[in-house]
Chains A and B, each alone.
Chain A
Amino acid sequence: MKKYALLCAVLALHAGASFAKDWNEIRMASEGAYPPFNTTTADGSMAGFDIDIGNALCEEMKAKCTWVKQEWDGMIPALVSRKFDAIIASMSITEERKAKVDFTDKYYASPLALIAKKGSELRPDLELLKGKKVGVQRGTVSDNFATKYWDGKGLQIVRYAKQDEAYLDLRAGRLDAAFVDYLEAYGGFLTKPEGEGYDVAGDRLFGRNAEEKAVIGEGIGIAVRKRDKELTEKLNQALAAIRANGKYDAIQKKYFPMDIYGN
Chain B
Amino acid sequence: MELFDLSVITGSLPQFWRGLWMTLQLTGFALLFGFFAAIPLAVLRLSPNRLVAAPVAAYTYFFRGTPMLVQLLLVYYGASQWEWMRAAWEAGHPVWTLFREPYFCALFAFGLNTCAYTVEILAGSMRNTPHGELEAAKAMGMTRLKALQRIVIPSALRRMIPAYSNEVILMLQGSAIASAVTLVDLTGAARDVYSRHFAPFEAFVFVGLIYLALTFVLVGLFKLAEHRWLAHLAPRKAEAGRQS
Contact in complex: A173, B191 (CB < 8 Å) = no
Binds B, one of A12-20, A35-43, A72-80: A72-80
Q: A77-B200, A174-B100 are in contact. Are A168 and B80 (CB under 8 A)?
A: yes
Chain A residues closer than 8 Å to B191, beta-carbon distance: 73, 138, 161
Which residues of chain B (21-69) have a CB below 8 Å from chain A? none
Contact in complex: B192, A159 (CB < 8 Å) = yes
Q: Within the assembled complex, what's the spacing in Å between the Cα atoms of A200 and B61?
A: 47
Q: A100-B198, A161-B180, A174-B100 are in contact. Are A138 and B192 (CB under 8 A)?
A: yes
B69-110 interface bits toward A, Cβ cutoff 8 Å, 1 = contact, 0 = none: 000000001001000001001100000000010100000000
Cβ-based interface call for B244 (8 A): no
Smallest CB gap from B77: residue in A: A168
A128-172 interface bits toward B, Cβ cutoff 8 Å, 1 = contact, 0 = none: 000000010011000110010000000000111100010011011
A side interface size, CB within 8 A: 24
Q: Within the assembled complex, what's the spacing in Å between the Cα atoms of A139 and B188?
A: 12
Q: Within the assembled complex, what's the spacing in Å between the Cα atoms of A117 and B150?
A: 59
Place the interface of chain B in its size category.
Answer: 20 to 34
Q: Which of B100, B184, B195 contacts A73 (CB 8 A)?
A: B195
Contact in complex: A139, B182 (CB < 8 Å) = no
Chain B residues closer than 8 Å to A97, beta-carbon distance: 198
Q: Is the interface of B mostly helix, strand, loop or mixed?
A: helix
Chain B nearest Cβ from A45, distance in angstroms: 25
Q: Within the assembled complex, what's the spacing in Å between the Cα atoms of A173 and B100?
A: 8
Which residues of chain B (135-152) have a CB below 8 Å from chain A? none
Contact in complex: A173, B86 (CB < 8 Å) = yes
Among B80, B198, B200, find the residue whose CB has the most chain A CB atoms closer than 10 A.
B198
Contact in complex: B80, A172 (CB < 8 Å) = yes
**11 residue pairs from A and B, CB less than 8 Å apart:** A73-B191, A73-B194, A138-B192, A139-B195, A161-B191, A168-B80, A171-B80, A172-B89, A173-B86, A173-B90, A174-B100
Chain B residues closer than 8 Å to A138, beta-carbon distance: 191-192, 195
A97-125 interface bits toward B, Cβ cutoff 8 Å, 1 = contact, 0 = none: 10010000000000000000000000000
Which residues of chain B (215-232) have a CB below 8 Å from chain A? none
Chain B nearest Cβ from A25, distance in angstroms: 26
Chain A residues closer than 8 Å to B131, beta-carbon distance: none
Contact in complex: A173, B194 (CB < 8 Å) = no
Write the residues of chain A forming the contact surface with B, with a CB cutoff of 8 angstroms.
73-74, 76-77, 96-97, 100, 135, 138-139, 143-144, 147, 158-161, 165, 168-169, 171-174
Cβ-based interface call for B237 (8 A): no
Chain A residues closer than 8 Å to B194, beta-carbon distance: 73
Smallest CB gap from B195: residue in A: A139
Chain A residues closer than 8 Å to B197, beta-carbon distance: 96
Additional 19 contacts, C-beta under 8 A, given A160-B182, A161-B180: A73-B194, A74-B200, A76-B198, A96-B198, A97-B198, A100-B198, A135-B182, A147-B196, A159-B192, A161-B191, A168-B77, A168-B80, A169-B182, A172-B86, A173-B80, A173-B89, A173-B100, A174-B100, A174-B102
Contact in complex: A158, B198 (CB < 8 Å) = no
Smallest CB gap from A156: residue in B: B182
Contact in complex: A174, B198 (CB < 8 Å) = no
Chain B residues closer than 8 Å to A158, beta-carbon distance: 182
Top-5 shortest CB links A-B? A139-B195, A172-B80, A158-B182, A76-B198, A138-B195
Q: Within the assembled complex, what's the spacing in Å between the Cα atoms of A139 and B194?
A: 9
Among A135, A143, A147, A159, find the residue whose CB has the most chain B CB atoms closer than 10 A.
A159
Smallest CB gap from B105: residue in A: A174
Q: Within the assembled complex, what's the spacing in Å between the Cα atoms of A135 and B198?
A: 21
Q: Within the assembled complex, what's the spacing in Å between the Cα atoms of A135 and B182?
A: 9
Contact in complex: B182, A159 (CB < 8 Å) = yes
Q: Within the assembled complex, what's the spacing in Å between the Cα atoms of A76 and B200?
A: 10
Chain A nearest Cβ from B60, distance in angstroms: 30
Chain A nearest Cβ from B17, distance in angstroms: 14
Q: Within the assembled complex, what's the spacing in Å between the Cα atoms of A147 and B184?
A: 14
Chain A nearest Cβ from B62, distance in angstroms: 24
Chain B residues closer than 8 Å to A139, beta-carbon distance: 195-196
